[in-house]
Amino acid sequence: MRGAKGEIAAVAYESPAAEDETWDRPATPEWFYVVRFDMSELWYGYTGTTDDVVQTEIPEHWLQAAS
Amino acid sequence: MTDHGHDHDHDRTVKPMVDEITDFEVLEIALRELCIEKGIFTAEEHRRFTEFAEQIGPTPAAHLVAKAWLDPEFKKLALAEPMTASKEVGVDWMEPTGFGTPSDFTAFQILANTPTVHNVIVCALCSCYPRPILGNSPEWYRTPNYRRRLVRWPRQVLAEFGLYLPDEISVHVQDSNQKHRFMVMPLRPEGTQDWTEAQLVEIITRDCLIGVALPKAGVTTNVITDTRPAVHPGTAG
């Protein structure tokens, strides 16, 4: 998903990021988003339809506004 | 005690089996024994919890879907307030075990299929699953085979489960890689007119709630249980 362009499907909840919570690092809660990606854009050589999507959940600090 | 007299043939004796314990089993035992030692829980509490966790199944979720099919208001509730709807089928996401352990996983969402959208769930990261309402996940759900391939080749993987979707239906793969948990609400199939909730529950199988199968009148199980008697060549004929 790195560098991929997606669309926010929903705002989820606030939580410390899992990777920080696990290792007991200082972690302030941040917003989590359900992000939708078009499979035909995301994957090279995708053989399904252009309406197929994958949705996954990402904490805010991994997201960047698309230009 | 008895002398090892040679009344057996070493060449035809099975060597002793080596039973190797995995690192994770060692970790589990260590952690459990430490918790018991520190009084965090007793051995009996642990046993009761294990027994509870292993008997949860998909029946509450099947009832939730059947109720939604029979009552449009309940369907609206299930989609808007899934935790409330879950309580109505006996599952409390805030206290899923009833043992007083509060849950961190309260972001539960029900994904409704439509005539043009088919939902299917996966956890690409590990194999998270909505256990409080579906019970334990199937073995295949936990394999990298499923987790890595469903997000990349969903239609091919669904075809391997015998589910072929036409192009008019788009596939929505939902990855539950953080604190959200999901289940699928499939569409009510044909041939179920005037069915009671109990009849509908029978065809809403675990695989339908994951999204790798569709409910069908007459199909009440994910497993083929018809068997044929074994053939013994030595005694046949």
Buried b (16+ CB within 10 A) or exposed e, B197-230: eeebbbbbbbbbbbbbbbbeeeeeeeeeeeeeee
Domain containing B171: what range? 58-210
Ranking B9-23, B72-86, B154-168, B199-213 by mean pLDDT, the lowest is: B9-23
Tokens of B68: 């939604």
Q: What's the structural domain count of chain B?
A: 2
B170 occurs within a structural domain: yes
In this prediction, residue B80 has a pLDDT band, given cuts at 50, 70 and 90, of: very high
B42 occurs within a structural domain: yes
Q: Please tell me the predicted confidence (pLDDT) of residue B102.
A: 65
Q: Is the interface score ipTM higher than 0.85?
A: yes
- Flag whether pLDDT at B165 surpasses 80: yes
Return d(Cα B112, Cα B127) in angstroms, integer.
21
B229 occurs within a structural domain: no
Return d(Cα B54, Cα B52) in angstroms, integer.
5
Ranking B84-88, B91-95, B101-105, B109-113 by mean pLDDT, the lowest is: B101-105
A25 occurs within a structural domain: yes
Tokens of A46: 């995708």
In this prediction, residue B7 has a pLDDT band, given cuts at 50, 70 and 90, of: low
Q: What's the structural domain count of chain A?
A: 1
B166 occurs within a structural domain: yes
Which of B138, B137, B135, B75 lies closest to B110 in space, CA to CA?
B75
Best-predicted range by mean pLDDT (B11-20, B139-148, B224-233): B139-148
- Flag whether pLDDT at B163 surpasses 70: yes
When the pLDDT of each residue in chain B is averaged and rounded to a whole number, the result is 89
Any idea which residue has 């009833």 for tokens? B98
Query: Within 13 A of B115's CA, how many CA atoms are on the CB side?
Result: 1
Same domain, B65 and B79: yes
A57 and B177 in contact by Cβ < 8 A? Answer: yes
Over residues B8-61, the pLDDT tens digits come to: 666 666 766 767 888 889 999 999 999 999 999 999 999 998 888 888 899 999
State the smallest CA–CA distance between residue B136 and chain A in angstroms: 22
Q: Which of residues 13-42 of A touch B (CB under 8 A)?
A: 13, 15, 18, 32, 34, 39
Same domain, B111 and B203: yes
Same domain, B122 and B43: no
B126 part of the active site: yes
B175 occurs within a structural domain: yes
B149 occurs within a structural domain: yes
